[in-house]
Structure 1
Amino acid sequence: MQIRALLPEAEVIVVDDGSSDSTGEAASKAGARVVRHPYSKGNGAAIKSGARAAAGDVIVFMDADGQHDPADITTLLARLDEGYDMVVGARQAGSQASIGRGIANRFYNRLATYMTGHKVADLTSGFRAVRAAKFREFLYLLPNGFSYPTTSTMAFFRAGYSVAYEPIHAAKRVGKSHLRPLHDGLRFLLIIFKIGTLYSPLKLFAPAAAGLFLLGSLWYLHTFIQFGRFTNMSALLYTGSVVVFMMGLISEQITALMYRDS
Structure 2
Amino acid sequence: MADSEPMKLSVIIPAKNEAASIGPVVEQIRTGYPEAEILVIDDGSTDATAETAKTAGATVVSHPASLGNGAAIKTGARKASGEILVMLDADGQHDPADIPRLLEKLYEGYDMAIGARSAGSHANAARLAANGIYNVFASLITGHTIPDLTSGFRAVKAKLFRNFIYLLPNGFSYPTTITMAFMRAGYPVEFVQIKAQKREGKSHIRPIRDGIRFLIIIFKVATLYAPLKIFFPMSAVFFSIGIAYYAYTYSTMGRFTNMSMLLFSAAVIIFLIGLISEQITALNYKQPSD
| Structure 1 length-normalised TM | 0.96
Tell me the residue number matched to 1:175.
Answer: 201
Tell me the residue number matched to 2:163.
Answer: 137
Corresponding residue to 2:49 among 23, 29, 49: 23
Task: Tell me how far 1:215 sits from its aligned partner.
Answer: 1.3
Tell me the residue number matched to 1:208.
Answer: 234
Greater shift in the superposed pair: 171-180 or 141-150: 171-180
1:58 aligned onto 2:84:
yes
Corresponding residue to 1:83 among 86, 100, 109: 109
Alpha-carbon distance between aligned partners in 2 of 1:185 and 1:3, rounded to the nearest angstrom: 33
Task: Tell me how far 1:201 sits from its aligned partner.
Answer: 1.2
Tell me the residue number matched to 1:235.
Answer: 261
| Unpaired stretches in structure 2, ≥5 consecutive residues | 1-26
Tell me the residue number matched to 2:8.
Answer: none
Q: Could you report, residue by residue, the CA deviation over 1:69-96 in whole angstroms, capped at 9, with x for unpaired residues?
A: 1111111111111100000000111225
Alpha-carbon distance between aligned partners in 1 of 2:248 and 2:207, rounded to the nearest angstrom: 42
The number of aligned residues is: 262
Q: Could you report, residue by residue, the CA deviation over 1:103-160 in whole angstroms, capped at 9, with x for unpaired residues?
A: 1111111111122222211110000000000001011010111111000001001111
Q: What SS does structure 2 have at the residue aligned with 1:45?
A: helix
Corresponding residue to 1:154 among 180, 185, 195: 180
Alpha-carbon distance between aligned partners in 1 of 2:161 and 2:146, rounded to the nearest angstrom: 18
**Are the counterparts in 2 of residues 91 and 169 from structure 1 also a CA contact under 8 Å?**
yes
Letter of the 1:86 partner, please give it.
M
Tell me the residue number matched to 1:40.
Answer: 66
Measured on the aligned residues, the alpha-carbon RMSD in Å equals: 1.3
**Are the counterparts in 2 of residues 147 and 188 from structure 1 also a CA contact under 8 Å?**
no
Alpha-carbon distance between aligned partners in 2 of 1:250 and 1:8, rounded to the nearest angstrom: 49
Alpha-carbon distance between aligned partners in 2 of 1:94 and 1:228, rounded to the nearest angstrom: 62
1:245 aligned onto 2:271:
yes
Letter of the 1:258 partner, please give it.
N
**Are the counterparts in 2 of residues 219 and 234 from structure 1 also a CA contact under 8 Å?**
yes
Task: Tell me how far 1:232 sits from its aligned partner.
Answer: 1.4
Corresponding residue to 1:165 among 160, 176, 191: 191
Task: Tell me how far 1:63 sits from its aligned partner.
Answer: 0.6
**Are the counterparts in 2 of residues 76 and 89 from structure 1 also a CA contact under 8 Å?**
yes
Runs of 4+ in 1 over 4 A off after TM superposition: none
Identity of aligned residues (%): 61
1:94 aligned onto 2:120:
yes
**Are the counterparts in 1 of residues 138 and 221 from structure 2 also a CA contact under 8 Å?**
no
Alpha-carbon distance between aligned partners in 2 of 1:75 and 1:136, rounded to the nearest angstrom: 23
Alpha-carbon distance between aligned partners in 1 of 2:190 and 2:215, rounded to the nearest angstrom: 23
Distance 1:105 1:96, change over 3 A: farther
**Are the counterparts in 1 of residues 227 and 278 from structure 2 also a CA contact under 8 Å?**
yes
**Are the counterparts in 1 of residues 41 and 62 from structure 2 also a CA contact under 8 Å?**
yes
Task: Tell me how far 1:194 sits from its aligned partner.
Answer: 2.8
**Are the counterparts in 1 of residues 130 and 214 from structure 2 also a CA contact under 8 Å?**
no
